[in-house]
Amino acid sequence: MKVFNETVMKLPQKIAKEATISFMSMGFGSGIGYLFVLILARWVGPVYLGVFSLASALMRFAEVIGKAGLDIGVMKYVTENLGNNMVEEGKAVIRSSIKMGFILSLISAAILIILSKWLAIDVFTSGQLLRQVLICNAIGLPFSVTMLIIAGATQAFKLLKYKALVINIIVPIMNLIAMLIGLQISNQVAITIPILFSSII
CA 135 vs. chain centroid, Å, equals 17
pLDDT at 8: 46
The listed range with the strongest mean pLDDT (85-89, 91-95, 123-127) is: 123-127
The model's pTM is 0.80
pLDDT at 5: 45
**124 secondary structure, DSSP code:** S
pLDDT above 60: residue 11 = no
- 81 neighbors 162 (Cβ within 8 angstroms): no
pLDDT at 68: 84
Tell me the average pLDDT of the chain. 83
**Least confident residue range of 26-30, 117-121, 140-144, 197-201:** 197-201
Rounded Cα distance between 182 and 187, Å, is 7
pLDDT above 70: residue 57 = yes
pLDDT above 90: residue 7 = no
Rounded Cα distance between 201 and 197, Å, is 6
What is the residue extent of each domain of the chain?
Answer: 2-200
For the chain, the first-to-last Cα distance in angstroms comes to 47
Model confidence pLDDT, tens digit, residues 25-54: 888 989 999 999 999 888 988 889 899 999
Model confidence pLDDT, tens digit, residues 160-188: 777 778 888 888 999 999 999 999 999 99
Q: Which residues contact 78 (CB under 8 A, 6 or more apart)?
A: 90, 93, 94, 153, 156, 157
pLDDT at 152: 78
